[in-house]
Structure 1
Amino acid sequence: MSYDRTISLTSDFATTVDAVREALAAQGFGILTAIDVTATLKTKLGHDMEDYLILGACNPPLAHRALEADRTIGLLLPCNVVVRREGDHTLVQALDPNTVVTLTGLSALQPVAQEAAARLDAALASLACPA
C-alpha cells in the first residue's frame, strides 16, 4: 500500500516551495509548521543532505470535522507535505489522507479523508500543470 501522493518537477527547490505554498493556500490549507530537515541535521549532527522541507498543512474546516469524529486524530494532524530534491528534480509528496482512515479504522473519517485527498490532488495537479 502506498501512503503518499508524489509528483516530480524540474523547477528548483526554492521556486517549488513557493509554488507548493500557493497551491495549498488555493485549496484552503494554511502552513502551520515548516521543518527544514536539511538545516536541522546540519546543525544537530553535522550531516549534509539534499534540500528537504516538511510543511505541516492544515485546512481548518477539515481538521474540525476530523476532530469532531475522533479527538485523538490530532496525533495525525496536520497533513504533512514534503518538498525535497532528488537528483535534478524536486519532489513534492503529500501523505495520502486515506491512510488515516486505514490506520484508525474509523469510517466516520472517510468523507473527511476523501475531501482532503481531492484538495491535495488538486494542489499537486496545479503544480504539475501550471495555469
Structure 2
Amino acid sequence: MFHYTVETKKSIGEAIQSLEENLKEEKFGILWQFDIKDTLLKKGFEFDQDYKVLEVCNPKEAQQVLKENQLVGYFLPCKIVVYDDNGITKIGLPKPTSMIQNLDDANLSEFASDIERRLISCIDKSI
C-alpha cells in the first residue's frame, strides 16, 4: 500500500498540534499548512470536508538526500494529511518508500525507510 493512515478521537486541530510536537522530537518542522476546504471556498467551490495538508521537513536530512540525488526533490517536502472522514479524524501520509522506489537506488531506499519509520512513529504518538 502506498500510504499509511490511522484514526484518532482528536479534533483536526488537536491532532495537528500533537503532530507538531511529535515531529519536533524527530527534528521535523511543519513548513506549510494547506487548508483545502478554505482554499476551495475562496475560489468559489463547495467542499464540506475539513482537509489539511501539512508539508514537513527535516532540513539536515533534506540536504543530505538532495546531495545524493536531486530527483528526490520531486518528493519533498514530505506530506502528512489530517482530515475529517464522516466525523472521524484521520491522519496519514504517502509512504516515502513507495515514492522512492521509482529511483531504484538502494541507498535512497534505506534512507526513505528510516524517514518513513520516524514519521509513522510521530503519527502513532499523535493519535
TM-score (norm: length of structure 1):
0.89
Q: Could you say which residue in structure 1 is the equivalent of 2:52?
A: 53
Contact 2:5 2:93 in 1 (8 A): yes
How many Å separate the matches in 1 of 2:126 and 2:59?
Answer: 22
Q: Could you say which residue in structure 2 is the equivalent of 1:67?
A: 66
- Poorly superposed stretches of 4+, deviation over 2 Å: none
Q: Deviations over 1:90-130 (max 9, x none)?
A: 100112110122122222211210110121121022123xx
How many Å separate the matches in 1 of 2:116 and 2:74?
Answer: 18
How many Å separate the matches in 1 of 2:120 and 2:98?
Answer: 15
Q: Could you say which residue in structure 2 is the equivalent of 1:30?
A: 29
How many Å separate the matches in 1 of 2:71 and 2:90?
Answer: 30
1:117 aligned onto 2:91: no
Contact 2:57 2:78 in 1 (8 A): yes
SS at match of 1:45: coil
How many Å separate the matches in 2 of 1:104 and 1:47?
Answer: 38
Q: Deviations over 1:46-91 (max 9, x none)?
A: 3122110100000122212210221121111000000000122110
Q: Could you say which residue in structure 2 is the equivalent of 1:82?
A: 81
TM-score (norm: length of structure 2):
0.92
Give the direction of change, closer, same or farther, for the CA distance of 1:12–1:51 in structure 2 (3 Å limit).
Answer: same
Q: Could you say which residue in structure 2 is the equivalent of 1:12?
A: 11
Gaps of 5+ in 2: none
